[in-house]
Structures are given as structure tokens and as C-alpha cells.
Amino acid sequence: MAEKRTTARRFKPNYIYSIISTSLVLFMIGLLALLFIHGNKLGNQFKENIEFTVIMKDNASEKSILALQKKLMQEPWVKSSKYVSKEDAARIFTQDNQEDFKDLLDYNPLFASINLKLNAGYTSKDSIDAIEMRVMKYSEVGEFYYERQLVEMLNDNLRKVSWVLIGISLVLVLLAIGLIDSTIRLSMYSNRFLIRSMQLVGATRNFVTWPFARRSLQNGLIASGISILALMTTLNFAISQLPELMALQDVAMLITVFSGVMVLGLLFSYLSTHFAVNKYLRMKLDELY
């Protein structure tokens, strides 16, 4: 009786290592996904805070400028707009430079303007050029001004960071597949004789495979739960250290990431177990030793 229990323990695959390794890999993938999404939202905030100044001609009336502002607000690429009159421009100049040009000039040389902020999806160079051409067609507009170097540098840096994160994600996914597959195959190794015995007594392939597949789905679910809990703990800790991160939170985003982690955990565990069992079913008896 004791010998049977020892044999059963020896044949029973060590699922603990499989769950732990799968949890660690899923945690890293989920963490990278959160970094990518938060970085993207932060980049969009930077883009949407860039100011584009539509400078009016000196002979443009306030009524026509306000009408133009109303038209621009109906465009899908405009996030917000602010009308700055000649008097407002003079006051801002005086506050920023601590000097009043009225001491030297008897007139206001500044122009009225509409300050625009664009939606993040329209801040690429091609989109801005198209917007500039469209805005300059209005007869009231004299100039379309923005910090071109700042916009180009921001887009370039965000593009580089995105490609780096995508590259790291692909490498990590490949490593995850390899690690989870190796761990599960190793845990299935101790059951190779049981698999073979079931086949020899006439059990069908599906009958042999299903118990292990069901166990793998359970393990994948447990590993996903552990990794999601770890991600939530890490995210809460990060928010406690940097409260500004709260503004970047999105419930739909978090649900998508956590759902993706769970699907990956179930998928990796099931496929690896399925292939491992079929491998031992195809092997000859002398190859099992």
C-alpha cells in the first residue's frame, strides 16, 4: 500500500512549478502591457497640451474671428480653442516679459488669435500640415504658428519608445511560450508511463488527453489569478508613490489587460499540455525510458 502511494506521488506531475513559472511570465507580460498603455496615454496628454496659434489679420473683426472659432470647434481634430483678443495678447505679453511696450509705442502691435489644442490622433506631421493648409484658406487668418521642433521631437521620441516596447513584448512572449512549454512538458514527463498505459488498454486519444487538459486549464486559471493580483498590487503601489498616475487610469483598459493575461494563461497552459500528451502518445515504448 505504501509502495502504491509512493508510485502515485512519483507519477503525479509537479504542477506547482508550472503554476509559479506561468504566473511570473504572465506578470511580466501584463506589466509590460500596462507600461505600454500608460505610456501611450501619457504621450497623448503631452500631444493634446501642445498649443497651435491661429494668428488673425489685423483687419479681422472680432465677430468674424468668433465665427471662425465656432467653425473650428466643429472640426474633429480640434480638442479645445481659446480666443485671445489684441488687448488680452498685450496683457499676456506684459505679464510674461515684465515690461509694457506701450511706453515705447502708441499702438498695440499684437494680433488677435485663436489658440487651438488638437486631439492626439491629429498631431502627426502629415495631419498638422493638412490642418494648416485648411486653416490658412480662411480669409481672416494671417499665420498658423506652433513649435515645430517640439512637435517633431515629441513624435519621434514617442515612436522610438513604442517600437522598443513592441520589440521587448515580442521577445518576452516568445520566451514566455518557451518557458511555459518547457515547464509543463517537464511536469508531464513523470506521467508518461500512465499515458502510455491508458493507450495500451484501449483508451482513445481524447479520453487520455482530456484529464490533463482540464488540469492545465485549472492551473492556467490559478496562474492568471496570481499574476492579476500581483499586477493590481504593483499598480496600487505605483499610484501611492505617484498620485499623478491616477489621472491615467481607465477601467476599460485595466479590464482589457487583465482579460488578456487570463486568456494567455489558459491558452499557453492548454496548448503546451496538449502537445506534451500527444508527444508521449506517439512515442514507442522503448523511447519512454
Per-residue pLDDT reduced to its tens digit, 168-217:
778 877 776 676 666 666 665 556 556 666 655 565 656 666 677 777 78
- Whether 88 and 110 have beta carbons less than 8 Å apart is answered as no
- Is pLDDT of 13 > 80? no
Question: Which are the contacts of 183, defined by CB distance < 8 A and separation ≥ 6?
Answer: 17, 18, 21, 22
Rg from Cα positions in the chain: 31
The pLDDT value given to residue 104 = 62
Question: Which triple of cell numbers denotes residue 10?
Answer: 512519483
Per-residue pLDDT reduced to its tens digit, 102-144:
656 666 677 889 999 999 889 888 899 999 999 999 988 989 9
Per-residue pLDDT reduced to its tens digit, 227-281:
999 999 999 998 888 887 887 888 888 899 999 999 988 887 777 777 666 665 5
**Range(s) for CATH 3.30.70.3040 in the chain?**
51-146
Residue 120, by phi and psi: left (phi above 0), alpha (psi -120 to 50) or beta?
alpha
- Whether 44 and 247 have beta carbons less than 8 Å apart is answered as no
The pLDDT value given to residue 66 = 92
In this structure, CATH architecture of domain 51-146: 2-Layer Sandwich (3.30)
Residue 276: count of CB within 10 angstroms of its CB? 25
- Is pLDDT of 39 > 70? yes
**Model pTM score:** 0.67
Hey, what amino acid is at 266?
L
Give the angle subtended at the CA of 169 by the CAs of 163 and 172, to the nearest 5°: 145
- What counts of helices (H) and strands (E) characterise the chain? 9, 4
Long-range contacts of 106-110 (CB under 8 A, 24+ apart): 110/86
Please state the separation of Cα 249 from the chain's center in Å. 12
